[in-house]
Each structure stands twice: as C-alpha cells, then as structure tokens.
C-alpha cells in the first residue's frame, strides 16, 4: 500500500473549509461540528521487510488518495489485520525500525581537568548546592562561572555547586549572582516560558560560600557572567 501526499493549494483562506468539506464527504469522514481541522498521527509505526509484506486487497487502487477504507471485522480488512498481528506476534526478524538507533561515530575531545575540578568544587562547598543547600550528590553539578570554552579556568574560584536545574538556568543566562553574593533570577525566564515561580521564590537568596575565602567566587568571573551570559 502507498500513501500519497495531498496538498491543498488555496489563495483564498475562506475557501479552505469548503474544500475540506468536499474531501471529508468523499472520504466519508464526519465533519467536526465546530469547523475545526483535525488530523491523525501515526505513532510507533512498524515496517515489515519486503519478504513479509501483506498482500493488498484486490480492489485496492495504486492511485487511491482518499476515500478507501476496509473494515477490520470482515473480508479483506480482517485478512490484512490478522496477517499483521501474526507477523508482530511471531519471533521472526522481518521488522525494521524507521530510523537507525545510532548515528555515525564521532571523536570527542574531553575537557582535561574536568574531573578534578568537580571534586575540588564539591569539597569546597561541603557537597551542597550553594543556593538550596541540597545534598543529594546525583543532582549536584560543579558549574563554571565563566565557561571553560570562553576562557574560564578549572579553578575552585571559578566554580559553584548548583543543583542540576539551577546549573542549566545559570549556563543559559536565566539566573546569575550579584555583587552581594545573592541569586538573581531574571525576568527573561518568565518572558520566555511564562513560568518560573519556583525559581523566583529563590530570587535574592544569599548563596552559601566556602569557609576558605580564597575559594570563594571570583569577582571578575561573576562580573563576566552578568555582562556576557545573563539575559536580564
């Protein structure tokens, strides 16, 4: 069986409902009372290899675009449906996926020093998020204040321990830290996503700093983040 794409070309928008009504009548599809335009989405599609294809009904026209239907309870419709179920239920290997599971292999250059950076930053902040004091290690990240890709160093003073969601917001410029070591949540979070209540509740909160002053956030790195990364 083959599905042919049918395009509607109409310069007059008002004529579109009439054209759709004609197609629905031909396909014996009940029109929506409210005039809404709907569609059917096919998910979890399975493709049989050619040697396991099911024969199309005898009266199936290769030129069919709309209007052809077959009952799953009788005659050819039942035959096609039953054959497909047998193939899916059996252990045969004649099913292929729509896409490959993996792409072509690529070389990845690891950031040297990232591992020790994480250990040192976590130790400096007593393994707790600087904003929320969350201690669950699997959700804690060692965030660079000035990204390594933008000249930032793998130094503790260029790092913060942040919960993974806050780390993502920090990297994307939705939150930053001001000169008084307080969290700033920018208006862009609400402007872009129309939410962020959980994070605005943290706005103005003083972050927890390392006891060793030499390990506290570098002033220049924070200034860089506010001027180059923070969206405002």
Instruction: Collect contacts of 164-173 with beta carbons under 8 A, ≥24 apart.
Output: 164/139, 164/140, 166/129, 166/131, 166/132, 166/199, 167/141, 167/143, 169/199, 170/143, 170/225, 170/229, 171/143, 171/147, 171/229, 172/231, 173/229, 173/230, 173/231
Sign of CA dihedral 46, 51, 54, 58: positive
Annotated domain spans of the chain: 13-96, 114-228
Residue % of the chain over a pLDDT of 70 = 72
Read off the pLDDT of residues 98-126 as tens digits, 9 standing for 90 and up: 566 777 887 766 666 678 889 999 999 99
Mean pLDDT to the nearest integer, 151-156: 91
Mean pLDDT to the nearest integer, 167-191: 96
Determine the Cα angle at 158 with ends 227 and 216, to 5°: 105
* pTM, full prediction: 0.57
pLDDT exceeds 70 at position 80: yes
Read off the pLDDT of residues 4-48 as tens digits, 9 standing for 90 and up: 444 444 456 667 677 767 766 665 556 666 666 666 677 667 788
Lowest mean per-residue pLDDT among 79-93, 114-128, 159-173: 79-93
CA–CA separation, 15 vs 70, rounded Å? 31
User: What was the pLDDT predicted at 180?
Assistant: 96
pLDDT exceeds 50 at position 90: yes
């Amino acid at each position: 069986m083959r599905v042919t794409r049918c395009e509607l070309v109409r310069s007059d928008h008002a004529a579109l409902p009439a054209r759709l009504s004609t197609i629905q009548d031909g396909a014996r599809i009940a029109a929506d009372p409210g005039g809404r335009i709907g569609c059917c989405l096919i998910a979890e599609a399975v493709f049989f290899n050619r040697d396991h294809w099911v024969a199309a009904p005898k009266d199936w026209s290769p030129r069919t675009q709309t209007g052809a239907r077959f009952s799953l309870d009788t005659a050819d419709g039942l035959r096609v449906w039953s054959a497909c179920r047998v193939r899916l239920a059996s252990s045969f290997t004649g099913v292929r996926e729509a896409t490959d599971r993996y792409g072509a292999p690529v070389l990845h250059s690891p950031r040297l020093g990232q591992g020790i950076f994480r250990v040192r930053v976590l130790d400096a902040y007593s393994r707790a998020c600087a904003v929320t004091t969350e201690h669950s290690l699997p959700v804690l990240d060692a965030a660079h204040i000035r990204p390594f890709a933008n000249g930032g160093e793998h130094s503790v003073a260029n790092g913060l321990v942040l919960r993974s969601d806050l780390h993502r917001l920090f990297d994307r410029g939705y939150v930053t830290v001001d000169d008084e070591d307080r969290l700033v949540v920018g208006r862009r979070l609400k402007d872009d996503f129309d939410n962020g209540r959980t994070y605005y509740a943290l706005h103005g909160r003083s972050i927890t700093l390392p006891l060793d002053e030499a390990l506290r956030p570098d002033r220049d790195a924070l200034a860089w983040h506010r001027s180059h990364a923070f969206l405002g």
